[in-house]
Structure 1
Amino acid sequence: MKYNFDEVVNRIGTASYKWDGVKLIFQDSDVLPMWVADMDFKIAKPITDAIRKRAEHEIYGYTVVPDSLVEATIDRLKRKYNWDVKPEWLVFTPGVVPALYTAVKTFASPGDSVLVQEPVYYPFFHAIRDNGAHVVSSDLKLVNGHYEIDFEDLEKKFLPKPGLTPTPARVRAMIMSNPHNPVGRVFNRKELEKIGEIVLRHGAVMISDEIHCEIVYKGHKHIPFATISKEFQENSITCMSASKTFNLAGLETSVIIIPNERIRARFIEAKGRILSTPNAFGLVAMEAAFRYGDEWLSQLLEYLEENINFLMDFVKKRIPNVKVIRPEGTYLAWLDFRELGLDEHELSEFLRKKAKVGLDDGYIFGESGKGFARLNFATPRVILEEGLRRIEKAVKEITGVF
């Protein structure tokens, strides 16, 4: 079946956080929303068919995870990553973010530290701080338009800083975003090996957020952290979902893969106190996506890569004051506005009030995100072009260069 990703679908009036929430979030109904990470594309027909069939039953009570979904998940992980996963390793949750809260609560007591790599997905900060732990960051380095890991700094950040009163407890866990949100890196095997060795050496647990794992572009390959070695597998929690790949975020269903029995038991104990089960439609949609979504996905990836090329070319030729970090994965572009000389609040005001585009402010991803903004390009090209034209016009007005 041929899917039309150029089709503009009116999402207003559907309780869309992205579109119906514009006035509330940006205080201006004329702002074009290009921020939150969901796509403006219709989902794959087999998923829609499966949801309709479930809806026809007309009873939507509490759920259990069906064996068929467990089988579909195991089969997909084997086909995609040659990862042999056992059924008991799988824990299904209503979304990855609640699972991150549970994972932090499981392994970090109040006063402990959890390490991240800024700029990074900002709910990581909330999951850590809301559990009473400290955020420690080993910032990614931007080198010639490409983000790299500072392994020397990463090693140092696992050690407590002398002289602080009180001294924060050691790092109990690291939360990694791979593919990385917002900078779009897809870490390679060598990088993952070095990260994992450092985490093991310091007795910490790896919490690997791999929710964007199937949105990866040509020349790059996603490698689940847990597949690198037996030691990594036994020392990790892997968070995955069909939500980003198949545009199902509103159905809030994720799978958490925990091979280590002791770690899994602790996670499930914490989960039982603070998490409910996924909803009936989320379970059905995830299974249909994993079994029958690849035709849609292959066409989506082609379209997204064309959007990347369009975005890169447009900005290079028409907004040279702005730089784009080319994403290796995700459908999120990290835009560098630092040449405009605006501080983080001035940049936010400029984008919202002058350009009339709703992007995610870079500073919410950490200190190293100041001067940047995140743009969601998973939208029909006509909308992407409109957003870029608005930015172009506003930049030219502020710089006086036409």
Structure 2
Amino acid sequence: MAYDFDSVILRRQTGASKWDTLAERFGKDDVIPMWVADMDFASPSCVQEALVERAKHGVYGYAVRTDEYFDSIIHWMKERHGWTVEREWIASATGVVPALTVIVQAFTQEGDGVLIQPPVYYPFKRVIRAWGRNVVENPLVYRNGHYEIDFDDLEEKAKEARVMFLCSPHNPVGRVWREDELRRIGEICLRHQVLVVADEIHADLVYSGFHHTPFASLSEQFAAASITCAAPSKTFNLAGLNTAYVVVPNAALKSRYELMLAKASMASVNVFGAHALAAAYREGGPWLDALMDYLEGNLRYLKDFVGRHIPELKVIEPQGTYLVWVDCRALGFERAALDHFFVHEAGLALDEGHLFGEEGVGFQRINIACPRSVLEQGLQQLNEAVERVVRRKA
């Protein structure tokens, strides 16, 4: 079956955060939005049809998770990731970030340390600080255009933490952690009794030649000392439907999580989200395969265009996610000036690198999950801005 990722779908005035908050977020709305991590592609037809069918019922009361819901998650994890998940391990969540909020409250006390690996998804730090916990940083090492974990530093920092937020695959640098890397993380955290909370929301979005390994699948010990946060939202563009869930093999940890979930009144299920999840996991595999082919084409186009036309930039090639981390330091701008350049000169709304930590200063994150014509236009605007503002002045 052919899938259409080339058609440009108009999203303005649909209540889309990505498109309808540009003036508020960037100071102008005549920019191409390639920032927040949702896609400009329609979700697969199987999801659309399931939602329409459920909408026709006409009654949208309180919902529960059905056998179909649980079975679809179990099947997807087994078929896509080789991980055997038991039904009783699966707990609800309104989103991955809300799940992290519940986890912080359930498993740490005020003043406890929570470990992160910057430059990393910026809500991690926001959640930690919002509840009076301490941010413990194990910065990734950027070397020869590639990011690695500083395991010696991780060993030391683990002594200061009760919980580790593991971004796997990593947002924004695009690393898909190898099995040996995950095992070293797990061994360190076990030694220091650190609970690993694996944010695996991008797990399905992995490029050719790489393989995502669920952290908890590596050993019973790791499974018993971890919580996995997952969702079909990035995979199938369902972010507005509250489709997240957590997988907690340790019954005591799951009970503690669900107790805090209930205290926070966050245990409800979105009636449409539950149907979308089941349909996507049951029938969406071929669509996802086609999506990854298209994203690989977008990534090749981006790398080729930058290499030929904008050598001042360095693309950090992602192994997973549709988010590309770009080193812009050779343009010569200070932090605020770089942000201004992309918005007001290039007409692009990207996620500023410094949002992800000090290690991100001089970088920008670009979302390539858009029709290729949009990507082409954005890169052409960027090239013209570099020529006009940077090269001519030089």
TM-score by length of 1: 0.96
Deviations 1:175-199 (A, max 9, x none): 0111100000000000000011011
What is the CA-CA distance between 1:237 and the residue it aligns to?
Answer: 0.3
Residue matched to 2:359: 368
Kindly provide the amino acid, as one letter, of the partner of residue 62 in structure 2.
Answer: Y
What is the CA-CA distance between 1:152 and the residue it aligns to?
Answer: 0.7
What is the CA-CA distance between 1:398 and the residue it aligns to?
Answer: 2.2
1:181 aligns with 2:184: no
What is the CA-CA distance between 1:21 and the residue it aligns to?
Answer: 1.5
Moved over 3 A (4+): none
| Contact kept? 2:92, 2:267, Cα under 8 Å | no
1:26 aligns with 2:26: yes
Kindly provide the amino acid, as one letter, of the partner of residue 374 in structure 2.
Answer: I
Residue matched to 1:257: 247
Residue matched to 2:73: 73
C-alpha separation between the residues in 1 aligned to 2:21 and 2:2?
31
What aligned pairs does 1:2-401 form with structure 2 within 5 A after superposition? 2-159=2-159, 170-274=160-264, 275-401=266-392
What is the CA-CA distance between 1:346 and the residue it aligns to?
Answer: 1.3
SS in structure 1 at match of 2:70: helix
Deviations 1:89-112 (A, max 9, x none): 001211111001111111111100
Deviations 1:114-167 (A, max 9, x none): 0000000001011111111011111111111111111111111123xxxxxxxx
Kindly provide the amino acid, as one letter, of the partner of residue 204 in structure 1.
Answer: V
C-alpha separation between the residues in 2 aligned to 1:237 and 1:382?
40
Kindly provide the amino acid, as one letter, of the partner of residue 208 in structure 1.
Answer: A
TM-score by length of 2: 0.98
C-alpha separation between the residues in 1 aligned to 2:145 and 2:288?
28
Deviations 1:238-274 (A, max 9, x none): 0110000001011111110000011111111111122
C-alpha separation between the residues in 2 aligned to 1:99 and 1:85?
19
Kindly provide the amino acid, as one letter, of the partner of residue 288 in structure 1.
Answer: A
SS in structure 2 at match of 1:158: helix
Kindly provide the amino acid, as one letter, of the partner of residue 182 in structure 1.
Answer: P
Kindly provide the amino acid, as one letter, of the partner of residue 293 in structure 2.
Answer: E
Kindly provide the amino acid, as one letter, of the partner of residue 300 in structure 1.
Answer: L
Moved more, 207-216 or 340-349: 340-349
SS in structure 2 at match of 1:187: coil
SS in structure 1 at match of 2:343: helix
Moved more, 205-214 or 14-23: 14-23
Kindly provide the amino acid, as one letter, of the partner of residue 4 in structure 1.
Answer: D
Unaligned residue ranges in structure 1 (runs of 5+): 160-169
Deviations 1:282-334 (A, max 9, x none): 00000000000011111000000000000000011101011110010000000
C-alpha separation between the residues in 1 aligned to 2:336 and 2:106?
36
SS in structure 1 at match of 2:162: strand
C-alpha separation between the residues in 2 aligned to 1:176 and 1:84?
21
C-alpha separation between the residues in 2 aligned to 1:117 and 1:314?
30
The percent identity for this pair of structures is 46
C-alpha separation between the residues in 1 aligned to 2:389 and 2:26?
21
Kindly provide the amino acid, as one letter, of the partner of residue 51 in structure 2.
Answer: I
C-alpha separation between the residues in 1 aligned to 2:112 and 2:340?
36
C-alpha separation between the residues in 2 aligned to 1:18 and 1:389?
21
C-alpha separation between the residues in 2 aligned to 1:355 and 1:82?
43
Corresponding pairs, count: 392
Residue matched to 1:163: none
What is the CA-CA distance between 1:82 and the residue it aligns to?
Answer: 2.2
What is the CA-CA distance between 1:81 and the residue it aligns to?
Answer: 2.1
Moved more, 333-342 or 280-289: 333-342
| Contact kept? 2:116, 2:135, Cα under 8 Å | yes
